[in-house]
Amino acid sequence: MRYAFFVNILMNQPPRVLLLIPHLGGGGAEQVTALLARGLSASKYDLHLGLATGAAEAAAGIPSSVTLHALGSRRVRASGFRLLRLVRKLRPDIILCGMAHLNFLVLLLRPFFPARTRVVVRQNTTVSSALAFGAPPPYTRLLYRLLYRHADRVICQSRAMADDLAAQVGLHADLISVLPNPIDFAGIRAAEHVTELWAGPGPHLLAVGRLSSEKGLDLLLSALPAVRDQFPSVNLLILGKGAEQAALTSLSRQLGLEGAVHFAGHVANPYIYFAGATLFVLPSRHEGMPNALLEAAAAGLPLVALPASGGLLDLMRNRPGAWLADDISAESLAAALLKALIALESGQRFSHRF
């Protein structure tokens, strides 16, 4: 194994990188991996992309220079044998994976990987919030403590996330690196003149995220009636899909918001809605460092958010064009939205420098 490593060096072969993700869909972790696959130099790296549960036909937008491996497992935890076989076949120099349950599996299998393979895991949530919210299995903290120390590096998107991870799972700070998520600036700029997708005078509110409880879209819907009292023409567009679709649609009807709220489902290119939006809303109960908010900030959109993590507090506090609610509640969110809408001029944009 060590002989093969030195042969690669002597032959000047590029390092082989295996990016791992459950599938390529609409989530932030999947988007980050897709951006890395497109952005890493094909002349410097031998790039491979492994999809634990995804299919090859779902990988639109991945360049031909990236070799795709669709493992086709029904669930991540059932992909262990196929993943191990792939790693032993490819013998990558580096594995980069980016979601906690897949990170656990990769680190559990690490003793069976080639000795020279380095493993880098990306932590995509704030651990304390993830453990406190949504009733994760009781052994989750133990998995963090036992397995993350066997990574060669753990990447967090903010210093607050890194400090939280170190404190929660007893991880040494030297093992953690802070690396912000990549942003598709080219894609955002290409869509900056698309405005005809919004109807009515507005104001137009945009929210992007999985339709699940931690994303807090029920709080946003509950906040909207108070906003409508002062801005009767307000409308809200929600991009995303998920298990809470039926419950959120029902809540929208109960609140009498049918004409003001539109669920657009998963949209491959959410940037086309940025130019016509009045502001971007992040109503999450807990977050790491959400790509959707960073992308909206890159487009100059005004931002309103709940204080979902220490990273968000550091990012948004005292920033022009950013309004942070006092606490995680529909009432505080409504107050922040009203404060922003009253202050904003039509079409106003900001040069966010985060």
Q: Which residue has the tokens 């791992």?
A: 20
Same domain, 51 and 129: yes
Q: Which residue has the tokens 């204080």?
A: 307
Is residue 101, in this structure, part of any structural domain at all? yes
Q: At which of 153, 169, 185 does a domain end? A: 185
Is residue 254, in this structure, part of any structural domain at all? yes
Backbone angles phi, psi at 63, to 5 degrees: -65, 155
CA distances 209 to 13, 190, 215, 244, Å, are 40, 22, 7, 11
Is residue 348, in this structure, part of any structural domain at all? no
Which tokens belong to 11?
């032959």
Per-residue pLDDT, 55? 67
Segment 296-325 mean pLDDT: 88
Determine how many CB atoms are found less than 10 A away from the CB of residue 58: 15
Is residue 350, in this structure, part of any structural domain at all? no
Same domain, 301 and 159: no
Kindly give, in sequence order, each residue whose CB lies less than 8 Å from that of residue 211, ignoring residues fewer than 6 positions away. Answer: 217, 238, 240, 241, 242, 243, 244, 245, 248, 263
Same domain, 159 and 241: no
Same domain, 72 and 15: yes
Per-residue pLDDT, 135? 67
Of the chain, the percentage scoring pLDDT greater than 70 comes to 92
Same domain, 121 and 231: no
**Range of 171's domain?**
2-185
Same domain, 93 and 202: no
Q: What is the DSSP string of 23-72?
A: --SSSHHHHHHHHHHHHS-TTT-EEEEEESS--GGG-TT--TTSEEEE--
Is residue 352, in this structure, part of any structural domain at all? no
Same domain, 300 and 323: yes
Same domain, 135 and 214: no
Say yes or no to pLDDT of 262 above 90: yes
Residues 173 and 24: beta-carbon distance below 8 Å: no
CA angle, 184 as apex, 315 and 191 as ends, to 5°? 105
Q: What is the pLDDT of residues 25-66, one digit of tens each?
A: 666 777 788 888 888 888 999 999 998 886 665 556 788 889
Residues 248 and 271: beta-carbon distance below 8 Å: no
Is residue 354, in this structure, part of any structural domain at all? no
Backbone angles phi, psi at 189, to 5 degrees: -65, -35
Task: Please tell me which of 155-159, 220-224, 318-322 the model is most confident about, judged by mean pLDDT.
Answer: 220-224
Same domain, 295 and 173: no
User: What is the three-class DSSP state of 205?
Assistant: strand
Which tokens belong to 29?
């972790």
Per-residue pLDDT, 57? 55
Is residue 353, in this structure, part of any structural domain at all? no
Is residue 37, in this structure, part of any structural domain at all? yes
pLDDT tier, 132 (very low <50, low <70, confident <90, very high otherwise): confident
Same domain, 157 and 288: no
pLDDT: which is higher, 220 or 7: 220
Which of 269, 281, 294, 272 has the alpha carbon at shortest distance from 338? 281
Residues 226 and 338: beta-carbon distance below 8 Å: yes
Same domain, 139 and 207: no
How many domains does the chain contain in total? 2
Q: Which residue has the tokens 């919210």?
A: 133
CATH number at residue 326: 3.40.50.2000
Task: Please tell me which of 69-78, 193-202, 227-236, 257-266 the model is most confident about, judged by mean pLDDT.
Answer: 227-236
Q: At which of 165, 185, 205 does a domain end? A: 185
Distance of CA 170 to the CA centre of its chain: 24
Q: Mean pLDDT across the chain, nearest whole number?
A: 88
76 vs 82: CA distance, rounded Å: 10
pLDDT tier, 317 (very low <50, low <70, confident <90, very high otherwise): confident
Q: At which of 185, 220, 240 does a domain end? A: 185
Q: Which residue has the tokens 């070799």?
A: 67
Per-residue pLDDT, 109? 96
Determine how many CB atoms are found less than 10 A away from the CB of residue 176: 20
Per-residue pLDDT, 64? 85
Same domain, 156 and 277: no
206 vs 194: CA distance, rounded Å: 15
Per-residue pLDDT, 1? 42
